[in-house]
C-alpha cells in the first residue's frame, strides 16, 4: 500500500499534461477534409447550437477519420452548452449517463452524441483507490476538454461552418505520422481509466498506427487494472475491438503489449490452446472479411466461437467421468457462462444465441431418421451450420460431416429422404464414428419417407454465407 502511494505521488510530480490554451487553427486548404463525408445530422447539430450562441464542434475519432479520408461510422459533437441547454434546442434529444452526462440528439436512425466541455481535475473528481474516475460532470473550457481527451489524434475539433480544425496537441501531425500518443502522463491516464489501454491497442490495430514509446511503456505493468473496470464497460470495449474489422490484428497487438494473460479469460483460452487458436482465428478472420464488406455480423455467434473450446474442455471432462453426453453438454455450458458473465458482462440476448448454437452441434451428427428434418425448422440453423463449417475447416470436426450437411441443405425432398435412410447391411454406417443408428420400426420409417417427400420445410440457411 505504501509503495503504491509513493509511486502514485511520483507519477503526479514527474509529468503534467501540457495545457495549450490557444489552438492551432488549420484551414480547409491545409487539412483537406471532404465535407461530403461529414454527416448532415452532425452539421445540423453544430449549426443549431451555434445559432443559439453556443460553440459547437465535431470532435474526436470522426475528425481523425476525416483527416485520413475515411467516412466515419458515427459522429460526436462537443459544445459549451450544458446538457439541459442542448436538449432544449432539439425536438428529439435525451440526456443519458451518470458517470458522464451526455445528450443523444436523434435524427431518424442516426444519433449524434453531444457532450459538454469537461474541466481538468481540480481535486473534486470522485476516484477509487487505484485512481479510476468514478464520476465527473464538472464542465469547463475547450482547452481543458482537449487536455482531458485520451490520445492526441482524438483531441481534434472540426467546425463545419468555418471548415476549420482546432488542434491543441499536435494531433494533426500525429495523424500524418501515423503515431498514437497519449495526452499527459501515460501511467496517470491509464489509472484514471484502464480501458484506455484497450483503446490504444484497438486504435493502433485498426488504423495501422504505431504506439508512441512513452505511451506504450506502462501498459504491461498496469494490465491488472482492467480487473477494476465494470464488466459491462469491458464487454463494450471488447465488442468494439472484435467487430472493428481488424480483430485478428487486435488480438496480435494484445499479445504484443502483454495484455493477453490475465486480462480476459477468453483471450487466455484463445492463445493457449493450439486447436482453439486455429478455430478462433479462422472465425475472427471471416468476421473481419464480413465487416470490411459491410455485411451483418452476429455478436452471439462471435462470442460462441471465442468460448467454444472452454465449453468443449468442460464437456469432455464430464463425459470422461461417465456422465451422459447431452446433459453433460448443458452442464458445461452453464458452468462456462456462469464464470464468464461474472468477468465479462455478455448480454443475455447473446448468451441465448450462444447456447442454441452450441447445443446444435451434437445434433448435426445424427443424420439418420427425422433429426435432420427437425433441424431444418430450427430458427438458428444458419448460425449452427456456419459454426459447424468452422469446426470442419479448422480440423476439429470431420470434413465429411460438413459436406454431408451442405449436400443435404441443397438437395430436394427425394434426395433428402434417401440421404437419411439407414445404410443397407454391409454398406457401412452413415453416422459419424462412435455413434450407432437407432433402430426404427417400419411405421416410423414410412412416416419419415412421407415427410421427406412432401412436408419437410426448405432450409433457412444460405450455406455459403458465413454467420459470423
Could you confirm whether 150 is annotated as catalytic? Answer: yes
Asked whether 50 and 82 are in contact (CB, 8 A), the reply is no
Distance from the Cα of residue 94 to its chain's centroid: 25
Distance from C-alpha of 294 to C-alpha of 284, rounded to nearest angstrom: 15
Determine whether 145 is an active site residue. Answer: no
Rounded Cα distance between 87 and 81, Å, is 10
Q: Please list the alpha-helical segments (H only) found in 120-194.
A: 142-148, 171-177, 186-192
Catalytic, out of 74, 121, 236, 268: 74
Cα gap 217→171, rounded to integer Å? 20
Q: Are 135 and 125 in contact (CB under 8 A)?
A: yes
The H-or-E segment that residue 103 falls in is: strand 102-107
Please give the Cα distance from 400 to 154 (Å, whole number). Answer: 50
Which one from 65, 76, 288, 466 is the annotated catalytic residue? 76
> Are 174 and 180 contacting, i.e. CB atoms less than 8 angstroms apart?
yes
From the list 150, 288, 386, 466, the catalytic residue is: 150
- The question of whether 268 is a catalytic residue gets the answer no
Question: How would you label 307-344 residue by residue, b for 16+ Cβ within 10 Å and e otherwise?
Answer: bbbbbbebbeebbeeeeeeeebbeebbebbbeebeeeb
Decide: 203 and 215 in contact? Cβ < 8 Å: no
Determine the Cα–Cα distance for residues 245 and 240; give it in Å rounded to an integer.
Answer: 9
Give yes or no for a contact between 146 and 169, defined as CB atoms under 8 angstroms apart: yes
Looking at the annotation, which residues are catalytic? 74, 76, 150
Amino acid at each position: 500500500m505504501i509503495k503504491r502511494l509513493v509511486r502514485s505521488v511520483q507519477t503526479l510530480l514527474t509529468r503534467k499534461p501540457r495545457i495549450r490554451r490557444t489552438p492551432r487553427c488549420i484551414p480547409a486548404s491545409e487539412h483537406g477534409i471532404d465535407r461530403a463525408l461529414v454527416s448532415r445530422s452532425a452539421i445540423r447539430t453544430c449549426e443549431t447550437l451555434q445559432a443559439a450562441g453556443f460553440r459547437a464542434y465535431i470532435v474526436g475519432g470522426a475528425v481523425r477519420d476525416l483527416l485520413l479520408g475515411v467516412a466515419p461510422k458515427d459522429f460526436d459533437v462537443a459544445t459549451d452548452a450544458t446538457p439541459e441547454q442542448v436538449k432544449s434546442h432539439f425536438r428529439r434529444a435525451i440526456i443519458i449517463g451518470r458517470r458522464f452526462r451526455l445528450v443523444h440528439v436523434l435524427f431518424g436512425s442516426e444519433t449524434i452524441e453531444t457532450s459538454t466541455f469537461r474541466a481538468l481535475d481540480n481535486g473534486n473528481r470522485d476516484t477509487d483507490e487505484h485512481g479510476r474516475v468514478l464520476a465527473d460532470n464538472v464542465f469547463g473550457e475547450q482547452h481543458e476538454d482537449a487536455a482531458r481527451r485520451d490520445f492526441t489524434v482524438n483531441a481534434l475539433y472540426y467546425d463545419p461552418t468555418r471548415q476549420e480544425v482546432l488542434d491543441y496537441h499536435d494531433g494533426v501531425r500525429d495523424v500524418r505520422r501515423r503515431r498514437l500518443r497519449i495526452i499527459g502522463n501515460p501511467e496517470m491516464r491509464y489509472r484514471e481509466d484502464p480501458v484506455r489501454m484497450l483503446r490504444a491497442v484497438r486504435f493502433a490495430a485498426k488504423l495501422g498506427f504505431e504506439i508512441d514509446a512513452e505511451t506504450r511503456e506502462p501498459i504491461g505493468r498496469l494490465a491488472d487494472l482492467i480487473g477494476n473496470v465494470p464488466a459491462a464497460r469491458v464487454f463494450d470495449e471488447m465488442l468494439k475491438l472484435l467487430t472493428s474489422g481488424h480483430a485478428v490484428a487486435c488480438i496480435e497487438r494484445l499479445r504484443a503489449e502483454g495484455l493477453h494473460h490475465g486480462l480476459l479469460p477468453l483471450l487466455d483460452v484463445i492463445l493457449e490452446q493450439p486447436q482453439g487458436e486455429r478455430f478462433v482465428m479462422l472465425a475472427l478472420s471471416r468476421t473481419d472479411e464480413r465487416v470490411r464488406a459491410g455485411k451483418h455480423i452476429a455478436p452471439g455467434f462471435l462470442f460462441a466461437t471465442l468460448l467454444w473450446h472452454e465449453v468443449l474442455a468442460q464437456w469432455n471432462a464430464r463425459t470422461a467421468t461417465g456422465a451422459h453426453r447431452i446433459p453433460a453438454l448443458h452442464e458445461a455450458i452453464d458452468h462456462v457462462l456462469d464464470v464468464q458473465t461474472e468477468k465479462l458482462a455478455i448480454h443475455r440476448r447473446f448468451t441465448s444465441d450462444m447456447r442454441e448454437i452450441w447445443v446444435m452441434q451434437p445434433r448435426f451428427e445424427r443424420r439418420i431418421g427425422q433429426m435432420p428434418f427437425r433441424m431444418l425448422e430450427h430458427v438458428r440453423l444458419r448460425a449452427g451450420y456456419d459454426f459447424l463449417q468452422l469446426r470442419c475447416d479448422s480440423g476439429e470436426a470431420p470434413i465429411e460431416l460438413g459436406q454431408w450437411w451442405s449436400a443435404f441443405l441443397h438437395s430436394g425432398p427425394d434426395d433428402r429422404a434417401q440421404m437419411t435412410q439407414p445404410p443397407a447391411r454391409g454398406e457401412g454406417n452413415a453416422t459419424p464414428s462412435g455413434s450407432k443408428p437407432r433402430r426404427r420400426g417400419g411405421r416410423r420409417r414410412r412416416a419419415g419417407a412421407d415427410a421427406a417427400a412432401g412436408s419437410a420445410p426448405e432450409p433457412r440457411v444460405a450455406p455459403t454465407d458465413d454467420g459470423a
